[in-house]
Chain A
Amino acid sequence: MSYTLGLGPLDAVVGEVPGGSNVVILGPPMSHKSEVAKILMHRALEREEGVIYISTNDTGEKLLDWFDSNGLDLEPHGDRFGIIDCVSASVNVGLSGPIHPSIRQVNGPMDMAGITIEVTDLLNTLWRKQNISKVWVFVDSLSIILMYAKLPTVFRFLHVLTSTVRKIDAMGMFLVEEGMHDEQSMVTINQLVQGVIEVRKDNDAKAMRVVGLQSTPSEWYKYNVQKGNIQFLEEGP
């Protein structure tokens, strides 16, 4: 089993990514990493793949609003994705429970046991009830979890999550803020992943490249994110 990243010229460089891969999306603030992840989620759903989106930044409701306001319709895919909302319960806005059947709430970004339980349950639903074996697992973002918990704790959680991704030939995507973590944290994270999508921002220009999914790092490709779409400004090889 393999996956298409859905990133234009980078797909041409990397080709299909083997199932069971875990990939970090690494970039500075304001480089639209989260928007890229959400667009990849929608593209996967359009290909009739399943998605589990662990949101530590935004409430589930806000996430759904983003798709809506960017013209990315999730309604046709409602039974193929689940959002694990790590925000609402911790700020008490979720007292009445989730507003959408695809949203599950956990206690907060520290509640890694709760996140893992929901991932297990969603995978069971996607695999056994929906018969979907191609599944993406997004963590947006790992940096927030690292803010709340110690590195060894996050390592154990990531060990379980990345092992699950490997076992079921899924595709794991972990968003990380560049410059926010010390070297030890980055080394620890990189031990558990097979590749990195690096995103950079120079003045107004944004660019991304892939490191680790092929023998040498790819070129940097300039891109823009607008209205739910990633536009690359140059062709791939």
Chain B
Amino acid sequence: MILPTCIPKLDTLLSGGVPGGRSLLYLIQPGIDGSVFGLQTAVKNIENGMQGVFVVSTTHPSKVQEYVEGFGWDFDVIKDRLNIIDLHSGLTKAPSDAKHVVDDPEDLESIDATMTKAIDDSTGALLFFESLSTIMDLCGEERSLEFVHRWLKQARLNDCVVIANFTAWPYAEDTVARIRDKIFNAVVRVGGVGERVMFGQYYGVLRADWLDSQNERTLLFKVSRPGGVKVYIPKLLVTGPFNAGKSTFVHALSNASVSVDRLGTTVALDFGHIDHKEFSADIFGTPGQERFDPILKLLGGQALGVFLVVDSTDPGGFSRAKQMLESTKTYDLPFVVVANKQDRADAISVDEIRKQMTIPEEIPIIPVAAKEGEGVYLAFETLVDSIIQV
């Protein structure tokens, strides 16, 4: 059995997911919204039929439903296959409906008795520690790790998969090193980008003992509510000749968009944001008229991929399209050609466009009717795939 993490592209990096009996830690930098990683892995697998045991330590168990539903996931689907070990109510003395309640969550022996029984009763289940760091904070670093090690061993014997969130507060160096390098079979780092203010978030595999070689690729992400973790692409460029339908394409693709235009033509830029499947991206569209060429390079800066939009009914604009790819200085980036207006009777075929524009075979040309929204998501998925390449 291999349990998928259900985090975009992570299963590819982990050769399919987490093998039965193994453990995976999400090592989360403080300040980064990373607790959803473990939750998403746990909820999605329970949705798919697994039994789950949640060890809840940062909040009252009644809030778990609220969190799950906050991401748009249906709690009713998982509730009958989910047992909660409550390590929180004992601190606040609040009543609890959880199946297992630890009266004194600061006493590792009490936790251990409950954990041992829960693991024994849950052969083949998914065991999810919502916050391992909270247990260490309550019970002490060293001793907690000894018990965690014991629970992981017992889980392995019972063919359980263990998933844990861990906030990497500034613990003693050897504590962090032990967690990062030894106790878990795999560690996925969830961190922030930015020296002073963190303006981006990333994840990547730090190690996994079932992999022969490791892919060190990291991916930017955003957390969507609803949706959960999505791979984030901060800038996709949409360019192409005047009247090719760039603005229409941006609007058709985006969940939210705005255009700076005058008398119906773009005079500065189009901007849109898309959340689609497991991806999230910001999209910037350029004007098409030649008088705006001086700003094209500026608009193309830091883009990660390009949609080159052409009017399939106007082969006269093809040379201008290729010229714009050069003007935006994006010719060395992954790009797809969006053959727009394919719903028109006078549109030429994709093959003919490839021939007339001398586009190499490896560059995808996607037939699109942006006004009708046809083909726009295929174009998006194709471009994103060629950027991510995981």
Contact = CB atoms under 8 A, between A and B. Distances in A.
Interface of A: 89-90, 95, 107-108, 110-111, 113-114, 116-117, 119-121, 123-124, 127-128, 148-150, 152-153, 156-157, 159-160, 164, 167-168
A167 B31 CA distance: 14
B133 interface: yes
A119 B31 contact: yes
Contact of A113 (B63, B91, B131, B196): B131
B170 A160 contact: yes
Contacts of A121: 33
Given A113-B167, A157-B169, A120 B31 contact: yes
Contact of A153 (B59, B92, B137, B197): B137
Nearest to A149: B137
Nearest to B195: A167
Contacts of A123: 197-198
Contacts of A111: 58-59
B171 interface: yes
B197 A150 contact: no
Given A89-B63, A111-B59, A164 B171 contact: no
A156 B31 contact: no
A123 B31 CA distance: 11
Given A107-B58, A119-B31, A160-B31, 7 more contacts: A89-B59, A107-B63, A117-B33, A124-B198, A127-B196, A160-B169, A164-B31
Interface of B: 28, 30-33, 35, 58-59, 63, 66, 91-92, 131, 133, 137-138, 167, 169-171, 192, 195-199
30 contacts: A89-B63, A95-B66, A107-B58, A107-B63, A108-B59, A110-B58, A110-B91, A111-B58, A113-B131, A113-B133, A116-B30, A117-B32, A117-B33, A120-B197, A121-B33, A123-B198, A124-B198, A127-B197, A128-B199, A148-B91, A150-B137, A156-B170, A156-B171, A157-B169, A160-B31, A160-B169, A167-B195, A167-B196, A168-B196, A168-B197
B84 to A, nearest CB: 15
Given A117-B32, A160-B170, A107 B137 contact: no
Contacts of A164: 31
Interface centre among B131, B195, B197 (most CB of A within 10 A): B197
A156 B170 CA distance: 6
Given A113-B35, A116-B30, A159 B198 contact: no
Nearest to A111: B58
A120 B59 CA distance: 21
B30 A160 contact: yes
A150 B196 CA distance: 28
Nearest to B33: A117
Contacts of A110: 58, 91
Given A107-B58, A113-B30, A150-B137, A120 B192 contact: yes
Interface centre among B91, B92, B138, B169 (most CB of A within 10 A): B169
A119 B197 CA distance: 10
Contacts of B198: 120, 123-124
A159 B168 CA distance: 12
Nearest to A168: B196
Contacts of A119: 31
B179 to A, nearest CB: 14
A117 B58 CA distance: 14
Nearest to B137: A153
Given A107-B58, A113-B58, A119-B31, A128 B197 contact: yes
A156 B169 contact: yes
A124 B58 contact: no
B199 A124 contact: yes
A159 B133 CA distance: 16
Contacts of B131: 113
Q: Which 8 residue pairs are nearest across A and B when measured between Cβ atoms?
A: A120-B31, A156-B169, A153-B137, A107-B59, A116-B31, A127-B197, A113-B167, A160-B30
A114 B32 CA distance: 9
B196 A159 contact: no
Nearest to B167: A113
Contacts of A156: 137, 169-171
Contacts of B169: 153, 156-157, 159-160
Contacts of A89: 59, 63
A19 to B, nearest CB: 11
A113 B35 CA distance: 9
Interface centre among A117, A150, A157, A159 (most CB of B within 10 A): A117
Nearest to A169: B196
A113 B28 CA distance: 10
Contacts of A114: 58
A37 to B, nearest CB: 23
A120 B315 CA distance: 50
Contacts of A153: 137, 169
Contacts of A107: 58-59, 63
B32 A120 contact: yes
Nearest to B192: A120
A124 B197 contact: yes
A136 B163 CA distance: 37
Contacts of B170: 156, 159-160
